[in-house]
Every structure is written in structure tokens, then in C-alpha cells.
Amino acid sequence: MCKKSIKKRDRARELIKKNKEIFKCPICNGFMSIDDSNSLTCNSNHCFDLAKKGYINLLTSSGVSSYSKELFQARHKVIEAGFYDPLIDKLVEIICEHQKYINKEKVNILDAGCGEGSHIYSIYENIKADFNGNFIGVDISKDSINIAASNNTDIIWCVADLARLPFQNKSLDIVLNILSPANYGEFYRILSDDGIVIKVVPNSQYLKELRETVYSDNENATYCNDKVINHFKERLEVIDTKNINYKFDISKELLPYLIKMTPLTWGESTDKLNSILEKDISSITIDLDIIIGKKKN
């Protein structure tokens, strides 16, 4: 066993131990505890192991993610190049502003559907100095959490299903849901009374240069997020919305990773994908809506 892995698991165990009251058994809903072993266990003895890589797997059946390891590796590469940096700056601003209204000593932030973890990691790096609370990243894909946990930091990484979040009622204060599916029933349950959900959804111009090439001949060439936003509004009270729209200069080297990182190109032929590369795209539009909601009274 290599030294680095031991450290990661030890760090994860200590973090979870300090915050064990947040967790709920995803099988029987009981409280969880962890000692010096490498398992989080509930009163009914349902047991979940800490991985050497420093995450906990709380799935009750094998998780099915439609996203491949290659997609997460490609996302990681593109995100590291700064693709979403303006979005992260905006999210940090929103979190810092809202944190003041949360009447709790410790503020718990969850990234629900965190993928390869870069967003919550960047937010953590930006605010950790002035922040008292916990950062948690959850995704159903073990491949994605494996990449996320490779940063040896004070973020709790969990493999879990949004439909059965392993957290106690009202234990989270800020739920981020970035370009991922939502489960509002679960978000509502885990959200504290002062808590907020911050959802990031693509707007009509998002990745338009890719969309126009891939779907040049059909109605998918344009996208409308009304349905997603209306669904959010049905479940939560919207307190603010923001739009963020910018262009990212993309290098020839990064373009293949961009093509791989998005479900937009799923199922497309190699010819079609090559035709995107041949188009000499040099800049990509990022157009995202940020919708912030709280529990309805």
C-alpha cells in the first residue's frame, strides 16, 4: 500500500469522523458512526467502506452513470484550462453573499453531481481561508469521484445517488447543482431552513459553435432551458437569477477534449467529430443561467 493512499484515507476518515452527524444510512436512514476502522457504519450495522483513494462509497446498488471515465478525464483537462473560471468567480460571489444569512456556526456546502470535482475544489480553494464549514462532493460515478479525490484536500468525496442522498434532513446549507440532473425532493429534505440551491443550466448560446456543427440539420441546433427552469420554480422559490456569457479561446490541442467532454457529441460518427475538428473553431461561447432558490414557505 503506498504512503500517499494511506494519507488520503486517513484524512477522509478524520473529516468524516468530525462530521458524522451529517450522514444518514442510505439503507435504513439511521445515524452513522466511524471509529479507527475504514468503515462508516449505522446502528443496524450497514457498513460502507472508505476507499484507499480517500472517498466513501455510499451507493446501495452499483451506480449507473452514462458518463465514461474518458469524458471525466476530458472535462478535467478542459476545466483545468480555465473554461469555467468566470462561472466559479460568480459562484464564489453568490456563496459569500448568502453565507451571511445562514444562521449557523458551520455552513455545509454540497456539490450534487460534482463530476470530477473541479468546481467544488476551486470554490473551496477560493473561500477556505474565511470559511467555517464543510465541502462535500457527491456523484454516482466512481470514475469521477476517483479523479476528484486525487486532490488531497479537506473535501468529503462520496459516491452516492442523488435520489437517495446519504445525509440527514436539513444538514446542508448550500446545494450546488452544476450542469447535472437534480432531485428536488432530496434537495428539499437535506436543505436547512436558511439554505439555498444554486443550479447552473445551459442557456441557448451554450457551446453554440459545437451545437451548430453537430446538429446543423435538425432542431437540436438550438436549445431552450425553459423546461428545466420551470421545473426548478415548481419546487423552490426563486430568489435570484443570473446569466453569465463569455467566450473562451480554445487551442487546437484542447478542442478534441472539449468534443469528448460533452454529451452533445454522444453517438455522433467519427466523420462528424472529425468535421468539427476541421472547422477550425477558435473560440467557444459559454452561456449559463444560474438560478438560486430557497424552500417555499
Ligand X SMILES: C[S@@+](CC[C@H](N)C(=O)[O-])C[C@H]1O[C@@H](n2cnc3c(N)ncnc32)[C@H](O)[C@@H]1O
* Chain residues in the site for ligand X (CB under 6 A): 65, 67, 75, 113-115, 119, 139-141, 144, 161-163, 178-181
Q: Up-side HSE of residue 140: CA atoms within 13 Å toward CB?
A: 18
Q: Which is nearer to ligand X, 64 or 129 (CB)?
A: 64
C-alpha cell at 186: 432530496
Region at 245 (left for phi over 0; alpha for psi -120 to 50; beta for the rest) = beta
CB of 215 to ligand X, least distance (A): 18
CB of 255 to ligand X, least distance (A): 18
Q: Which is nearer to ligand X, 165 or 276 (CB)?
A: 165
φ/ψ of 109, rounded to 5, equals: -110, 130
C-alpha cell at 47: 457498513
Q: Which is nearer to ligand X, 48 or 67 (CB)?
A: 67
- With 0-12 / 13-18 / 19 or more C-beta atoms within 10 angstroms meaning exposed / middle / buried, residue 273 is middle
Residues across the chain: 297
CB of 183 to ligand X, least distance (A): 7
Q: Which is nearer to ligand X, 17 or 180 (CB)?
A: 180
CB of 224 to ligand X, least distance (A): 18
Q: Quote the CA–CA distance of 39 and 116 in Å, as a whole number.
A: 23
Q: Which is nearer to ligand X, 32 or 207 (CB)?
A: 207
DSSP letter string, 278-297: HTT--EEEEEEEEEEEE---
Q: Quote the CA–CA distance of 237 and 98 in Å, as a whole number.
A: 15
Q: Which is nearer to ligand X, 144 or 192 (CB)?
A: 144
C-alpha cell at 46: 450497514
Residue nearest to ligand X (CB): 115
Q: Which is nearer to ligand X, 180 or 192 (CB)?
A: 180
CB of 149 to ligand X, least distance (A): 14
Q: Quote the CA–CA distance of 39 and 49 in Å, as a whole number.
A: 4
The closest alpha carbon to 187, from 200, 170, 212, belongs to 170
Q: Which is nearer to ligand X, 75 or 211 (CB)?
A: 75
Residue type, 102: I
- With 0-12 / 13-18 / 19 or more C-beta atoms within 10 angstroms meaning exposed / middle / buried, residue 71 is buried
CB of 265 to ligand X, least distance (A): 12
CB of 119 to ligand X, least distance (A): 6
Q: Quote the CA–CA distance of 55 and 69 in Å, as a whole number.
A: 17
CB of 139 to ligand X, least distance (A): 5
